[in-house]
Structure 1
Amino acid sequence: MRLDVSTQSRGPLFDGRAQALANRYVDHLERQLADEGRNILLDELDRVLRTQTPYYATRIKVEDGNKITDSRVVYGPWLAGIGSRNYPVTKFRGYDHWIVTRDKLNARKRGIGERLLRRYTGRM
């Protein structure tokens, strides 16, 4: 008995389209997570700051598509409680807005990633 087997390698997995879509998915996911984190951070600032001036909130941005930053505002570390002028130098221990933002974003990231992935898997 003789058995001949032949295969053809074609389609998105073999011509690079799936890899390109996977890379686009990762970029899109990073940007979406950063945007969500920025929104959470702004909500947290509303929660912790009694008297707000818009300067600090307007400096919170997403840079490089995946980093949330306060644009190195000079009193940013003091607000976060990690500055040299925080406790024990003064009574002010800082706010927890960055920590709470991290925790809330970590809790939401899986759902965000799964919803976004559904858009891409059909094309792979």
Structure 2
Amino acid sequence: MSIDIDFRGPLFDGRAERAIQDACEGARDKVAEFAQQHALRLMHAAFRHPTGYYESRVTTTNVSSEVALVHDQGVVYGPWLEGVGSRNAPVTRFPGYWHWRRTKGVVASRGPAIAEREVRRHLPEMGG
């Protein structure tokens, strides 16, 4: 007696693994894009005398296949604008705009739904 087992399909030929990787990278990119756009919207609405330079320095860097970093490229007065610099209140009256902290909170609450939509888009590729 013998049994022949034939393994084929997306799980065995690599298609599912590629789809999972695409879903993860897509989710990372969509959440980072949302975070960058949200931070820029807050800056545009709050900055009293914008020069455009700070906003032009806001960018996204893919740290790994799972992690993206939205940042201001280390602009020296970035901490002051955020409100965490040594020259913020109580040293001066300026408390900061809190654009990064507020963005972080919004991304924490809305990011999972954004990521889920991207993963669902790739589900058909995972199942055949």
TM-score normalised over the length of structure 1: 0.87
Structure with bigger RCO (C-alpha 8 Å, 6+ apart): 2
Bigger Cα displacement from structure 2, 103-112 vs 69-78: 103-112
Match in the other structure for 1:68: 70
Displacement, 1:122? 0.4
Deviations 1:41-84 (A, max 9, x none): 01111222122111111110111261101011110011111111
In 1, distance between residues paired with 2:85 and 2:98? 13
Q: Which has the larger radius of gyration?
A: 1
Unaligned runs of 5+ in 2: none
Match in the other structure for 1:84: 86
Displacement, 1:115? 1.7
Amino acid at match of 2:125: R
State the SS of the aligned residue for 1:63.
strand
TM-score normalised over the length of structure 2: 0.85
State the SS of the aligned residue for 2:70.
strand
Q: Percent identity?
A: 37
In 2, distance between residues paired with 1:50 and 1:11? 58
In 1, distance between residues paired with 2:102 and 2:90? 23
1:27 to 20, 25, 28: 25
User: What's the Cα RMSD here?
Assistant: 1.8
Bigger Cα displacement from structure 2, 107-116 vs 29-38: 107-116
Displacement, 1:9? 1.8
Unaligned runs of 5+ in 1: none
Kindly indicate whether the alpha-carbon contact (under 8 Å) linking 2:24 and 2:119 is maintained by their aligned counterparts in 1: no
